[in-house]
């Protein structure tokens, strides 16, 4: 059987994807599967999560068919710990917390694939995360404010507006 994507190479990866009860079968060669990011868990009992991740992240090492973006990614490097993006994509692990900053542009698609989401909405540490807590509080109050305005409860709305201003002032002062 030939790969359903390129139609040239033999299909070596066969799998069934079930989305909302709808079954679809796929037959890809490894190259196309990798390009499409369809290397999914479950096809690979023996694989470690890191090798799976590196499958998701890997850039074509032959250099053929690379987009300019991919070439740029190869030279990306964390200035803090020295890890390059290509090392990261092989290891599937970051070297330090600054890697998140230096590789930032390329992380959203990865996180979307692994987690479905890209932004943290959970617990925030009190010491380092004080600012974030205030920001979340402001966001919540703004939503509340909209509701009050729609319901024409202007007195409460004014109170909420003042609370927001106070919090914003606190935040600006650091």
Partner 1 sequence: MSNLRFTDSALSEWMRGNGQDSDIVISTRVRVARNLQHLPFPLLATDQQSGEVLERLTDVLKNKDDLQDFGDLHVIKLSEIDELDKKVLVEKHLISPNLANESRNGAVILTEDESVSIMINEEDHLRIQCLYPGFQVREAWARATALDDVFESEIDYAFDDKRGYLTSCPTNVGTGLRASVMMHLPALVMTQQINRILSAVSQVGLTVRGIYGEGSEALGNLFQISNQITLGQTESEIIENLHSVALQIIEHEKNARARLLGESKLRITDRVMRSYGILSYAAVMDSKEAAQRLSDVRLGVDLGLLEGPEIPVMNELNVKTQPGFLQKTYGEGMTPSERDMYRAKLIRETLGTH
The residues binding partner 1 (CB under 8 A) are 18, 41-42, 45-50, 53, 80-83, 91-97, 100-101, 107, 110-111, 114-129, 131-132, 135
Task: Report the residue number, 105 or 162, with the smaller CB distance to partner 1.
Answer: 105
Give how far Cα 74 sits from Cα of 78, 113, 160, Å: 12, 21, 49
Buried b (16+ CB within 10 A) or exposed e, 9-40: eebebeeeeeeeeeeeebbbbebbbbeeebbb
Instruction: State in angstroms the smallest separation of the CB of 159 from partner 1.
Output: 28
Q: Are 49 and 92 in contact (CB under 8 A)?
A: yes
Task: Report the residue number, 8 or 50, with the smaller CB distance to partner 1.
Answer: 50
Task: Report the residue number, 77 or 156, with the smaller CB distance to partner 1.
Answer: 77
**What count of other Cβ atoms lies within 10 Å of the Cβ of residue 88?**
24
Contacts of 168 (CB under 8 A, 6+ apart): 138
Task: Report the residue number, 133 or 151, with the smaller CB distance to partner 1.
Answer: 133
Return the half-sphere exposure (C-beta side, CA atoms, 13 A cut-off) of residue 83: 19
Instruction: State in angstroms the smallest separation of the CB of 81 from partner 1.
Output: 5
Instruction: State in angstroms the smallest separation of the CB of 164 from partner 1.
Output: 19
Instruction: State in angstroms the smallest separation of the CB of 48 from partner 1.
Output: 6
């Amino acid at each position: 059987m030939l790969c359903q994507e390129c139609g040239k190479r033999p299909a070596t990866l066969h799998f069934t994807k079930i989305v909302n009860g709808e079954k679809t079968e796929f037959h890809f060669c490894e190259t196309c599967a990798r390009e499409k990011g369809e290397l999914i868990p479950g096809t690979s009992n023996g694989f470690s999560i890191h090798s799976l991740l590196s499958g998701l992240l890997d850039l074509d090492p032959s250099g053929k068919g690379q987009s300019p973006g991919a070439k740029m990614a190869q030279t990306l490097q964390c200035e803090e710990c020295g890890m390059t993006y290509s090392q990261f994509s092989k290891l599937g692990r970051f070297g330090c917390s600054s890697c998140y900053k230096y590789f930032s542009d390329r992380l959203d698609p990865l996180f979307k694939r692994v987690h479905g989401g890209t932004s943290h909405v959970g617990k925030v540490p009190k010491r380092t995360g004080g600012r974030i807590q205030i920001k979340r509080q402001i966001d919540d109050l703004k939503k509340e404010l909209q509701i009050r305005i729609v319901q024409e409860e202007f007195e409460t709305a004014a109170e909420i507006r003042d609370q927001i201003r106070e919090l914003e002032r606190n935040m600006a002062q650091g």
